[in-house]
Each structure stands twice: as C-alpha cells, then as structure tokens.
Amino acid sequence: MLKRLITLTIQSVSGAGVEALKPNRRRSAGRRVCIRLKAEDQHLLHERASARQMASATYAGVLVRAHLRALPPLPKHELLELKRSVAELGAIGRNINQIARAANQGGRVGAPGRDDLRSFITVCEGVRDHVKALIKANTRSWESGHAEANV
C-alpha cells in the first residue's frame, strides 16, 4: 500500500507516470525469461534436455513454444533421420522411374523380378514404419518429457 501511495503522490505532483522513474531498458527480439526451479525439477530438466541432445534452457524454451503453439517440434537428429528416410525413398523412386522409362522407350529392360519388387516393397514399408514410429515417439516424448532411446 505504501508503494501505491508513493506512486500516486509522484504522479499527481510531477504529472509523470511511474515509467519516468524506471530505467530505460532496451528490449531484444528474443526476450529472456528467468524462472526458479526446485533442485529435483532442475535435475529432471537437465536429464530430459540431455536425452534430446539440447541445452537445458533451449529445451525449456522449445517446450514452452511447443505448448503455446501446440506443435511438438523435432530435434535436429530426428529431423536428420527423417530426411535420410526421405532420401532413401527418393533413390528407390528414381530407380523405378529409370526402369519404367527404359521400358516405355522400347529398350531391353532387365525388368525387376518378383524378388526385386518384394525388396522394394520391404524397404518402403520399413521406411514408412520407421517414420511412423519416429513421429509417434516424438509426440509421446514431448507430452511425457522423455525421448525414446530405441527409435
């Protein structure tokens, strides 16, 4: 109450608000937020950030942003795995396209046999299952806070 009384008195006397008494602080684009954590919570934060190969502050910032925007993010190593899987599918697609192009041009094509097609299907299904599992584990880990080790 004393603080409020002093503030109101200064405002009425000087005509200036309390803002005139505060130091001028520059605001950066990425504003810093400081929080206090209990020791055990800080330990959990560090543990979970380490599991994601992230700094604790970065992990906390990503969690807050993900919560506010309802978008579970993909850490760099998981994104790289997805890109690698997409590259594998692209290579398979290019091989199939080369075979189809040669067949359409009337060239002699050593068409893939039944075993080759089964191998293509097996690889494609494996990549699909890997990506599905990665996405599921990523979403689940951001909800619970633990990254899956075997994904």
C-alpha dist (Å) from residue 148 to 26, 78, 87, 134, 137: 41, 11, 23, 9, 6
Q: What is the pLDDT of residue 26?
A: 57
- Write down the pTM of the prediction: 0.42
User: Residue 91 corresponds to which amino acid?
Assistant: A
- What does the pLDDT read at residue 40? 92
> How does residue 151 score in pLDDT terms, banded at 50, 70 and 90?
very low
Query: What is the model's pLDDT at position 39?
Result: 93
For range 57-84, the mean pLDDT:
79
| Chain centroid, CA 94 distance in Å | 29
CA distance 114 to 121: 11
Span 2-18, mean pLDDT? 66
What pLDDT digit, counting tens, does each position of 101-130 carry? 777 777 666 766 778 778 888 888 888 888
Predicted pLDDT at 144: 62
Name the residue with tokens 């039944």: 114
- The band of 43, judged by pLDDT with boundaries at 50, 70 and 90, is very high
pLDDT above 80 for 9: no
| pLDDT band of 42, cuts 50, 70, 90 | very high
